[in-house]
Structure 1
Amino acid sequence: MAHCEEDSSRYTYEEYKQTADWLLSKTEHRPSVAIVCGSGLGALGELLKDQVAFNYIDIPNFPHSTVPGHAGRLIFGNLNGKPCVCMQGRFHSYEGYPLWKVTFPIRVFRLIGVETLIVTNAAGGLNQDYKVGDLMVILDHINFPGFAGQNPLIGPNEERFGPRFPPMSDAYDKDLRKLALAIGEELGFSEKMREGVYCSLGGPNFETIAECKFLSALGVDAVGMSTVPEVIVARHCGLRVLGMSLITNKAVMDYNTEATANHEEVLQAGKDSAKYLEKLVTLLIQRIELNNNVF
């Protein structure tokens, strides 16, 4: 019975469109690129010129961000001459939101004309070669909650957004990945640039040592509590995706250590290294064509 009640409370296509139309009526910006900022990475939004900003609480149907380090604002503006929209703060299942609500903004972006989604996150480094402050371009992901039946596409499919069974073998755009790595080298960040596999867990607790060892054995390079639901919905509705993880802490893998992961450490590391991500994203957006090509 509860499952039926959850299904009946999902957003309708008309509600997505209501929010999109409301935003378009409040700004003349028509973004082609959307950026989702992870923990401590909201400064990306401040780089936009000619800003028009909305608090999530004021946007019809929008969830509200409750996590420290997530400002809860949607900013329209221009970045290096390209029209963009930036989420300063995302939503998570551990806040109590179902995944169809976590991913609500992505379909709204599609309806306002966005073609490319850039998702960023703060992540723990499982790969022992990674250092705090490294930037990992996401090659692929493992959706662990999906193994337990938690997926934002569960329920009736809305064909106006995408097909019932969308492929995920090409979740992260190959050309955008190459471009991001090339720009990192161009900017002199080669020693910080990585490419690897991201794993999403439910949170909000950080991982146990046994869980970290298990994920490492599966080939996971970085672990976090976000991103994958948005990517799934973005690919479902035809957006190109670039994902980047800022390695903000080393995963604890030794039972004899006194070290523990904590959110304050994540926010501080994000603040310290965000400038590298900001420079990379700014230049990358300049090189994204409006017709979904890069050059």
Structure 2
Amino acid sequence: MNTTADPVIQATGLRRRYGTGRHGFEAVRGIDLHVNRGELFALLGTNGAGKTSTLEVLEGLAPASGGTVRVLGHDPIKQRSRIISRIGVMLQSAGFPESLTVAETATMWHGTLTHPRSVASVLADVQLSDRASVPVKSLSGGEKRRLDLGLALMGRPELVFLDEPTTGLDPQSRQVTWQLVRSLLEEGCTVVLTTHYLAEAEELASRLAIMHHGVIHTEGTVADIVATQNARIDFQCSGTELLDLASLPALAAPINTSAEGRVQLQSSNLQVTLAALLDEAERQDLRLGRLQARSASLEQAFLAISDAERRAA
């Protein structure tokens, strides 16, 4: 994966509003973002965060209500003809003609593209070669998603938008999709991804942003965002009072204990805190039951954003 500081997407003050007046709703409230050439940028967020509304503007499917947007150096609405052959789009749901076969659908799409890959190679990539003669209406939901992905990639795009690409896929098909995306990145393609599978973003993303209620709350690499969260240690101990927990290094929050002797710690350095805890337990000859030590995660950072707002409310 080779990325360069050559932005293929630049958005400043991007807004997207539905309706007018007091009955209107602003789904995207003035966000700034950029996507560099050759990277996979994941746009994450809670339901209703504004991810799909943002993507529709970047894809040129809807105008922005405010701000400026450039995709491959052009306005995606006013100069759409200059970028349409250079991008691939996979929407959340596709509207395939149900009566056509898989091969007929792919052939029809093939005829609309400037420099398309062959139908056979595309169907092979998404593991639908053996379903070529099957009507689209007979495909499973996961197979339709794979067909949609294949058509999005058929035109050899420089930039691909993938909106929830693995929804409905079984674990094996998801892995196949991930490998296909990795191949795109190795070839220098730029990918913008939305997904509810945080493991997908952790696995594939060069950088990501987390949206909530129409704004971007945090942006950076997975490592940058995870580093804002604390690791956690949980254990059960009948002799909690014998442990000098307050002196443990790198504690990052108050110590939580229950009447049953359950202890929860947060640490800014899991290895240091856990090693000191185990040494202290050994010194006191205490057994730490049901011991769990968990590094910070992207899921933890994701949940912290909505939790912070709920606490404030």
TM-score, shorter chain, exceeding 0.5:
no
> Shorter-chain TM-score: which interval?
under 0.3
- Please give the TM-score of this superposition, normalised by the length of structure 1: 0.24
**Which of these two proteins has the greater Rg computed from alpha carbons?**
2
- Please give the TM-score of this superposition, normalised by the length of structure 2: 0.23
